[in-house]
Amino acid sequence: MLSRLSLRIRIFLFFCLIAAACIGGVWAALWIGYGRAGNPALLDAFVFVGALSLFAILGVCAGIWLLFDENVAKPIERLAAGLRARAHGGVTSDLDQQAARYLGDLAPAASSLVGKLGQANLNSAEAIARETARLEAEKARLTTLLSEVPVATVMVGHDHRIVLYDAQAAAVLSQIAPARLGAVLGDYLEAGALEAAHKKMIRTGKEVSARITGNDGRQTYGLRLKPLGDAPGYVVIFDSAEADIPPEAARPLVYDFGLLNPVSQRIENRPLSDLTFSVFDTETTGLLPHKDHVVQLGALRVLRGRIVDGEALDLLVDPGAPIPAASTRVHGITDAMVKGAPDIAEVSRTFHHFCSDAVIVAHNAPFDMAFLRREAKRLNLAWDHPVLDTVLLSAVLFGASVPHTLDALCDRLDITIPTALRHTALGDARATAEVLCRMLPMLEARGFSTLGEVIAQTRAHGRLLEDLNPVDK
């Protein structure tokens, strides 16, 4: 049981035990002394001495514990987190040895180990980089080729989750809702007609043509469903003459073949490395979610530990009220910029679709989620997604005694936020996503490999921020 407690708490309990033992020993000695004195008139004197001893012991133990906590326990906690960040989080900066100056040779030895590990990783990385560069060049040529072919193509797993889409398919799907890997194709196309065509393809083992209406009801698409042979899943090809593909569509080929693997576990039991995260941030007219309004929402998707290029939202929002000058000085958004922009209802629905099948992540999530949940009932939207907060994840990994601001986290994890993007919704969302990607392997290294285990750890730091995940009864 004690092994589950943090080092600092265990040390605190150790000093409590020392204080209790000393107090017990002094009071026992006083009791024996009073009994041997045989003079009842001395009772008050013995009690007074005992009380003084109690306060003296408590004061000495508390003072020594505070010194020990500040100069030993906290530095050990920070040193361990720093080592983990460099071993698993991709951090390359030097360890802060000044903070661990009272730990003898431990910090210099750890720094030396990090240097040796970094050099070994660098040598391996150089060899990997050469091969990766070759593969990336081939991938770029393939991507360019496929993106220029005037056919919208989507590869789908056996469970109808999108595994790959090209630039043209992204443009078609985005006419209905933002394109995203891992999404069920039924989120975009009428599920019943799609399932009927899929069953026919399975039954015949051949290509099947079908006409299926988009979920927005605005257009019917001519489709071809082609089996992948022995591989699970199938390919969907949109008729380019009917799909109304915008000529400027030029997003890269987006794919993750790991999505072909079946998913059967409940989301809280799935490994962190298999999850999809929707990382977002908002800019607002003020700091009061019950009365202020959103003026910008930025979001992007993290899939299997990496940011998915091309899957992002960067939306201005008409707040329906003037933006205070003090707020404009922070985020740079003016009334003129949001004039004619969609309102919070439209943006909420777009973002809700963007978050389907994903864990929502934000820095100080209770603040941003409060703006969305305020409108949820009116819009008939259920924000019942699992939520992770990078403030709480920072407390889990680095301890509660260090700063947990986004700037402090980025500095700790060697992440640079361009000045022009700081305090923009998409810029802060990207910084938060990069923080998350560094933290995921560090959490796994701590032994927290599933979403449920991570949420359980963040709840232990509820004094910092409210945990937004419902507690199972």
Is the pLDDT at 133 greater than 70? The verdict is no
| Domain spanning 149-257, CATH architecture | 2-Layer Sandwich (3.30)
Q: How many Cβ atoms sit within 10 Å of the Cβ of residue 331?
A: 20
For residues 230 and 310, the model is more confident at 310
Highest mean pLDDT among 46-60, 109-123, 359-373: 359-373
Q: What is the pLDDT of residue 462?
A: 85
307-321 residues labelled b (16+ CB within 10 A) or e (exposed):
bbebbbbebbbbbee
Q: What is the pLDDT of residue 143?
A: 58
Instruction: Please identify which residue in the block is written with the tokens 């998409």.
Output: 426
Domain ranges in the chain with CATH number 3.30.420.10: 265-459
Is the pLDDT at 277 greater than 50? The verdict is yes
Across 273-300, average pLDDT: 96
Q: What is the pLDDT of residue 473?
A: 47
CA distance 304 to 273: 5
CA distance 279 to 266: 21
Across 49-67, average pLDDT: 92
Is the pLDDT at 21 greater than 70? The verdict is yes
8 Å CB contact between 102 and 72? yes
CA distance 350 to 355: 9
CA distance 288 to 437: 30
Element (H, E) at 405: none
- In percent, the amount of the chain with pLDDT more than 70 equals 88
406-415: pLDDT as tens digits: 999 999 999 9
Instruction: Please identify which residue in the block is written with the tokens 């699992």.
Output: 386
8 Å CB contact between 285 and 293? yes
Domain ranges in the chain with CATH number 3.30.450.20: 149-257
Burial class (CB in 10 A: 0-12, 13-18, 19+), 32: exposed
432-460: pLDDT as tens digits: 999 999 999 999 999 999 999 999 999 98
Q: What is the pLDDT of residue 265?
A: 77
CA distance 329 to 285: 11
Is the pLDDT at 271 greater than 70? The verdict is yes
For residues 360 and 246, the model is more confident at 360
Q: What is the pLDDT of residue 19?
A: 93
Tell if the pTM clears 0.85, that is, is over it. no
Q: Chain-centre distance of CA 206, in angstroms?
A: 42
8 Å CB contact between 94 and 37? no
Compute CA distances 473 → 38, 180, 470, whole Å: 60, 33, 9
For residues 269 and 95, the model is more confident at 269
65-120: pLDDT as tens digits: 999 998 888 888 888 888 888 777 778 777 777 777 778 778 777 777 766 666 66
Domain 265-459 falls in which CATH fold?
A: Nucleotidyltransferase; domain 5 (3.30.420)
Q: What is the pLDDT of residue 18?
A: 93
Helix, strand, coil percentages, rounded to 5, for the chain: 55, 15, 30
414: left (phi over 0), alpha (psi -120 to 50) or beta: left
Q: What is the pLDDT of residue 22?
A: 93
* Average pLDDT of the chain, as a whole number: 87
8 Å CB contact between 89 and 441? yes
Q: What is the pLDDT of residue 292?
A: 96
Nearest to 457 by CA among 399, 412, 407: 399
Instruction: Please identify which residue in the block is written with the tokens 């790991």.
Output: 258
CA distance 448 to 457: 8
Categorize the per-residue pLDDT at 123 as very low, low, confident or very high, splitting at 50, 70 and 90. Answer: low
